[in-house]
Amino acid sequence: MFTPRQLAVWLGLCALSLIWLLPVRLRDALACGIGKAHYRYARRHFRAGRRNLRACFPAMSAAEIDALLQEHSMTQWCVWLDLPAFWMSSNGRRGARTVFEGLEILQARAKAEQPTVLLVCHNAALEHAAHALKGVLPVVGYYKPFKSPVLEWLFLRLRKRGDSVMIGRDTPLHGLIKAVRGGRQLYQMIDEDLGVPAGEFASFFSTELCTVIGTGRICRVAGAAAFPVFSGYDRAERCYRVRVLPPLDDFPAAARRDIAQQTAQCLEALIEVDRSQFMWCQRMLHTRRDGAESVYAGIRTSAD
């Protein structure tokens, strides 16, 4: 916890906390400036994002892709500079900056202990949405440990606050099913490329995505309804928005391929709410069919 490298993490958290004390308007202005500079001077960091966007939306021009990724960078930095709100602000104050749409549907299901799975993706405000939802719903979610013991200690404590349960990715499935059947709502990521056989190929915008199908299995065994949930940061209003979309019809399908296609279409719907909120820089198109060239071939040496 106190090696030279971890001392740097402690100092970074302290500096971030001091910046957070600025008024939201000034903090967001600073974040937007950093976000623009980040995209302009660290373009290599966004290479995977540009390749993902070209694969998904071949009609987009280079200028449109640059504008979208710069917009995402600005929003992402607004969210990062607001992270100290988790340890320096009250639940009520954080809740006042969150606007929910359709939350009453999930609250009614929680009250009736109806099995529910929340389908989410890697958006800029993912962490904030998770904390906001667990403050008003009985949530269960997967947990991926941080490499830094300092961040692991801090965020594990924060994520365990409220009426929420965190489980490791190696937790047996029957324990998760029991929690969902008992009325806890599973916060489930659907945009991770876990490869085959954990995933199945499905059409995704203008390309293919090796889509996770485990969500369908959970919903089938637990008898749960699946609700897509969008999360994002509204820079104009300086608030977080969490929108509950209509549940998936006839989910899950009987065949693996159909489950994958249903999940991919759900992911498309979440992204299309606001494309700039999605974390395009993850290597979500890593798995390709046999013999197909990787979307990220030569990316380390490319001038892209």
118: β partners: 187, 227
Residue 170 has pLDDT above 70, yes or no: no
Measure the CA–CA gap between 301 and 304, rounded to whole angstroms: 9
Main-chain phi, psi angles of 295, to 5 degrees: -60, -25
**Omega of the bond prior to 252 within 30 degrees of 0, cis?**
yes
Among the residue ranges 91-105, 222-236, 256-270, the one predicted with the least confidence is 91-105
How does residue 162 score in pLDDT terms, banded at 50, 70 and 90? low
Residue 4 has pLDDT above 90, yes or no: no
Q: Token digits for 47? A: 């290479």
Q: What is the DSSP string of 249-286?
A: TT-S-SSHHHHHHHHHHHHHHHHHH-GGGB-TTS-TT-
| Distance linking the first and last C-alpha atoms of the chain | 38
Residue-level length of the chain: 304
Q: What's the domain range around 267?
A: 4-277
Residue 251 has pLDDT above 80, yes or no: yes
In a domain, 19, yes or no: yes
In a domain, 303, yes or no: no
In a domain, 283, yes or no: no
In a domain, 124, yes or no: yes
In a domain, 301, yes or no: no
CB 184 within 8 A of CB 138: yes
Average pLDDT over residues 183-208: 92
Among the residue ranges 71-80, 158-167, 170-179, 290-299, the one predicted with the least confidence is 158-167
- How many alpha carbons lie under 13 Å from residue 23 in its C-beta half-sphere? 2
Residue percentage of the chain with pLDDT more than 70: 97
Measure the CA–CA gap between 268 and 204, rounded to whole angstroms: 7
Q: Token digits for 290? A: 């046999």
How does residue 141 score in pLDDT terms, banded at 50, 70 and 90? confident
For residue 199, with 0-12 CB atoms within 10 Å meaning exposed, 13-18 middle and 19 or more buried, which class applies? buried
- How many alpha carbons lie under 13 Å from residue 100 in its C-beta half-sphere? 19
Q: What is the DSSP string of 6-33?
A: HHHHHHHHHHHHHHHTS-HHHHHHHHHH
Determine the pLDDT at residue 31: 98
Q: How far is CA 12 from the centre of its chain?
A: 23
Mean of pLDDT over the chain: 91
Main-chain phi, psi angles of 283, to 5 degrees: -85, 70
Number of separate domains in the chain: 1
Average pLDDT over residues 62-72: 97
Determine the pLDDT at residue 115: 95
Residue percentage of the chain with pLDDT more than 90: 69
**Tokens 């979500």 sit at which residue?**
284
In a domain, 239, yes or no: yes
Measure the CA–CA gap between 35 and 291, rounded to whole angstroms: 38
Residue 169 has pLDDT above 70, yes or no: no
Q: Token digits for 45? A: 């960091």
Measure the CA–CA gap between 9 and 91, rounded to whole angstroms: 25
